[in-house]
């Protein structure tokens, strides 16, 4: 009789230790773990692992259906922007990460549980090399929109000069093939027009290596018809006109646990790097009328200046709508703390400010009628899947492509503009009704895509069947 581990496939999902990377990677790992005869391991850096599981140190552990096996990137105690530059971080990360990740693969093989497939997210280009050294099939999981992938592909294959020439003309339309609607300079991911001396540019250099690895796979295949498969956390109905000649984009999203009846998560699923506020924000939402609350959150990375927050607060006050606002502890200003009462409400009792919360639980609550967001891809998908209209305030990377917002020259949304947008989205006017109807439509489309026989469901099952054949 064959050994059990020989019968099972062992998929390892590897990701960068950022909240926006861990969420979609872990959601995919959990989804894959529900496939028969499939064992799944999730791997991020020790610093990320410790924040997910504070009591586990750096040891391997089993949580629900997934094994967690961290690797060292040379920064096991984590980093801050004040003590480590991105250039220094990636220099060490790209040197030590591959060595320690390779040790994980050796360890599993030595224990009779060899990894048979690796899925990695953006910012881990070296994973493809490590997988090749071990003879393990490897696939990229693109955790941004298909459209953004296509834009980067064009940028890196013939359009960089054109873009740099017109970088100061935000309305210049780029002649990208296979993309609808048309893309203007102002819509591009910020990396495409970022100066090489920008402190965030090392992130883009690492991202470019991901595309170089895909190109290497094509060249090494020796066949002109070979196209690497790239899993995408999107769905065909949302981005129907995106086509990339060089690779096969495989939409498998939205990969969000609450969309799957057989994959209901526990409250503490390990995915959050930030501790949720212990204020009773869900009970506070319970006390509000349906569709009345404005939810505001700008993700786990961007730090807003006092000017930004003042304008947002001004708009929220003038709108006179109840609001739940996430302001991370590391991004709070003394002036904002002073407006809060003892119970977390502001002084007129119309809003609540929390340091962190379960975003999906909030978006799924019937009281929430609008999401003011930076439009990171995870937040965008969560809002679409919950049927909540968005007012977008994009700041950098792919956010401008995910949504458009009227901001001033410094990227600050004005209070009066926020009031106008909230009234447009949540008001009784014809446009508001249209927006809310469309939001409900996207909720239904997202659920249909991942349901049995839906486009993303079919794609993911076909992918899993395909990698099973690779190990037979």
Nearest 5°: the CA angle 369, 373, 378 is 105
Residue 168, in any domain of the structure: no
Domain that holds residue 37: 4-148+187-264+449-470
For the chain, the domain total comes to: 2
Sole residue written with tokens 């109905």: 237
Q: 140 with 220, same domain? A: yes
Same domain, 135 and 228: yes
Question: Do 374 and 465 sit in the same domain of this protein?
Answer: no
Active site residues: 21
Asked if residue 106 belongs to a domain, the reply is yes
Please indicate, yes or no, if residue 233 is contained in any of the structural domains.
yes
- Return the number of other C-beta atoms located less than 10 Å from residue 112's C-beta: 10
Q: What is the DSSP letter of 89?
A: H
CA-to-CA separations, 271 to 44, 65, 141, 336, 374, in angstroms, rounded: 11, 14, 17, 28, 20
Strands 61-63 and 66-68: antiparallel
353 and 220 in one domain?
no
Give the pLDDT score at 218. Answer: 86
Q: Which residues of the chain have pLDDT under 50?
A: 1-6, 263-268, 334-335, 337-344, 347, 404-410
Q: What is the structure's pLDDT at 264?
A: 44
φ, ψ (nearest 5 deg) of residue 243:
-145, 130
What residue ranges in 188-303 does DSSP mark as E strands?
A: 229-232, 248-251, 293-297
CATH of residue 18: 3.40.50.2000
- Give the separation between CA 134 and CA 128, rounded to whole angstroms: 10
Q: Are 146 and 237 in contact (CB under 8 A)?
A: no
Same domain, 191 and 58: yes
Same domain, 37 and 89: yes
| Six token digits for residue 401 | 């492509």
Whether residue 355 is contained in a domain is answered as yes
- C-alpha span between 336 and 344 (Å, rounded): 11
Whether residue 176 is contained in a domain is answered as no
d(CA 117, CA 231): 13
Does the residue 252 lie in any domain?
yes
Task: With respect to residue 11, please indicate whether it lies within any of the assigned structural domains.
Answer: yes
Contact 67, 40 (CB under 8 A): yes
Same domain, 254 and 310: no
Is the same domain home to 191 and 234? yes
Between CA 227 and CA 244 the distance in angstroms is 10
Quick check: is 439 in a domain?
no
Query: Taking the alpha carbons of 302, 295, 390, 426 in that order, is the dihedral positive or negative?
Result: negative
pLDDT digits (tens, 9 = 90+) for 97-151: 999 999 999 999 999 999 999 999 999 999 999 999 999 999 999 999 999 999 9
Dihedral (CA of 84, 88, 92, 94) sign: positive
Alpha-carbon distance of 235 to 450, in angstroms, equals 8
pLDDT of residue 248: 95
Q: Are residues 245 and 292 in the same domain?
A: no
Let me know whether 95 and 20 are in one domain: yes
Rounded (10°) CA dihedral 315, 317, 319, 322? 120
Q: How many other C-beta atoms can be found within 10 angstroms of the C-beta atom of residue 340?
A: 18
pTM: 0.89
Q: Distance between CA atoms of 19 and 406, rounded to whole angstroms?
A: 27
Q: Give the pLDDT confidence of 404-463 residue by residue, as tens digits.
A: 434 444 455 788 989 999 999 999 999 999 999 999 999 999 999 999 999 999 999 999
CA gyration radius for the chain?
22
105 & 245 share domain: yes
pLDDT at residue number 289: 95
Cβ burial, residue 348 (10 Å; 0-12/13-18/19+): exposed
Query: In 87-96, which positions are buried (b, 16+ CB within 10 angstroms) versus exposed (e)?
Result: eebbeebbeb
In this predicted structure, what is the pLDDT of residue 339? Answer: 45
Q: What is the per-residue pLDDT for 277?
A: 61
Name the token pair of 78: 């984590």
62 with 118, same domain?
Answer: yes
The Cα–Cα gap between 195 and 183 comes to 20
């Amino acid at each position: 009789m064959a050994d059990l581990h020989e019968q099972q496939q062992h998929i390892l999902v590897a990701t960068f230790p950022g909240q926006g990377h861990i969420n979609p990677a872990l959601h995919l790992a959990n989804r894959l773990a529900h496939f028969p005869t499939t064992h799944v391991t999730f791997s991020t850096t020790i610093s990320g692992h410790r924040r997910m599981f504070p009591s586990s140190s750096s040891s391997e552990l089993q949580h629900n259906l997934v094994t967690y096996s961290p690797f060292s990137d040379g920064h096991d105690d984590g980093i801050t922007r004040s003590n480590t530059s991105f250039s220094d971080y990636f220099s060490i990360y790209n040197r030590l990460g591959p060595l320690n990740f390779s040790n994980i693969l050796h360890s599993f093989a030595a224990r009779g549980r060899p990894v048979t497939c690796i899925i990695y997210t953006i910012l881990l280009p070296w994973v493809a090399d490590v997988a090749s050294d071990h003879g393990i099939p490897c696939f990229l999981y693109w955790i941004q929109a298909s459209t953004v992938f296509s834009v980067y592909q064009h940028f890196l294959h013939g359009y960089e000069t054109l873009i740099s020439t017109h970088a100061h003309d935000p309305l210049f339309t780029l002649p990208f093939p296979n993309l609808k609607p048309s893309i203007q300079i102002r819509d591009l991911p910020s990396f495409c027009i970022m100066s090489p001396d920008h402190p965030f540019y090392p992130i883009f250099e690492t991202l470019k290596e991901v595309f170089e690895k895909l190109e290497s796979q094509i060249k090494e295949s020796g066949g002109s018809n070979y196209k690497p498969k790239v899993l995408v956390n999107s769905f065909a109905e949302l981005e129907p006109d995106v086509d990339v000649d060089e690779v096969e984009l495989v939409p498998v999203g939205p990969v969000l646990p609450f969309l799957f009846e057989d994959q209901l998560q526990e409250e503490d699923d390990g995915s959050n790097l930030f501790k949720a506020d212990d204020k009773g924000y869900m009970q506070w939402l319970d006390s509000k009328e349906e569709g009345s609350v404005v939810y505001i959150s700008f993700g786990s990375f961007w730090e807003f200046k006092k000017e930004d927050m003042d304008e947002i607060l001004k708009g929220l006050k003038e709108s006179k709508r109840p609001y739940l606002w996430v302001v991370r502890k590391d991004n709070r200003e003394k002036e904002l703390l002073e407006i809060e009462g003892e119970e977390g409400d502001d002084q007129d009792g119309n809003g609540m400010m929390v340091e962190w919360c379960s975003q999906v639980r909030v978006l799924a609550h019937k009281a929430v009628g609008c999401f003011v967001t930076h439009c990171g891809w995870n937040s965008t998908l969560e809002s679409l899947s919950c049927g909540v209209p968005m007012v977008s305030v994009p700041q950098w990377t792919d956010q401008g492509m995910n949504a458009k917002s009227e901001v001033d020259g410094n990227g600050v949304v004005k209070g009066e503009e926020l009031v106008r947008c909230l009234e447009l989205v949540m008001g009784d006017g014809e446009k508001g009704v249209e927006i809310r109807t469309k939001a409900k439509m996207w909720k239904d489309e997202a659920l249909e895509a991942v349901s049995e026989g839906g486009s993303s469901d079919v794609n993911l099952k076909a992918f899993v069947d395909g990698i099973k054949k690779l190990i037979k």
